[in-house]
Amino acid sequence: MSCRVSADPFSTLAQARTSVRGFTDQPVPDALLHELLVSARLAPSGANLQPGSFVQVRGAVREALSQAMSAAYREGQAEAEDYSYFPDPMPGHLRRRQVAAARALYDSMGIAREDRAGRDQQFERNFRFFDAPVALVVTIERGMGSGCFMDLGMALYGLLLAAQSRGLASCAIGALASYPTLVRSHLGLGAESQVVCGVALGYADPAQAVNSTRTARAELDSYFKAVG
């Protein structure tokens, strides 16, 4: 069953937001970034705990971190992640979604499935925050309950939508969670900070083919039912 989405302001905003991996070098004013983060923190939060933190990574620290993660990726180094992102094993129906998303991304850039080097080169751009003018690392305090990840996720979505509403583009970067020790080391974070993801934020470059990537969403009847 398909469901037509109305054209009200929120629906228009939600439909316009997509993961952008190609940015211009136009800077994002600090004041605007701060406004977006304040808006994001209005997300619902159980007991008003407001879990999680956003760390902006800049200058030489950003460059050193990106180089370290890229080198680790190229050399096939692995770290123990702070939390489990994907189900293991991946169920077949979810694996099909994962494969379709990867196909949409690489097809948009003309990178063939058998082009391992091309795919690796594109994936490595995760560790450079896709060269966006703003690079954020998202953390959550160790020991927080599973529900706190839900609350942080709502704040993250609030940030992405707030950015979209102000003419900015964004991409959440789960790949950063693969190197939590490197991230903590370069950012001077303690062991109590779990690395959740990164966020690239800036102005979309319409000339970059990767920004034409679109992924399908599940039909309503696959995740909704009425009982009674």
Q: What's the full length of the chain, in residues?
A: 228
Per-residue pLDDT at 1: 54
Cα gap 45→40, rounded to integer Å:
11
pTM confidence score: 0.94
Domains of the chain: 16-214 (3.40.109.10)
Cα gap 150→154, rounded to integer Å:
6
How does the average pLDDT of the chain come out, rounded?
A: 96
Cα gap 218→105, rounded to integer Å:
18
CB 128 within 8 A of CB 64: no
Per-residue pLDDT at 7: 78
Cα gap 218→26, rounded to integer Å:
35
Burial group, residue 37, by CB count within 10 angstroms (0-12, 13-18, 19+): middle
Confidence of residue 133 (pLDDT cuts 50, 70, 90): very high
Q: Give the tens place of pLDDT for each residue, 166-220.
A: 999 999 999 999 999 999 999 999 999 999 999 999 999 999 999 999 999 999 9
Q: Give the tens place of pLDDT for each residue, 84-120.
A: 999 999 999 999 999 999 999 999 999 999 999 999 9
Quick one: CA dihedral 48, 51, 57, 61, positive or negative? positive
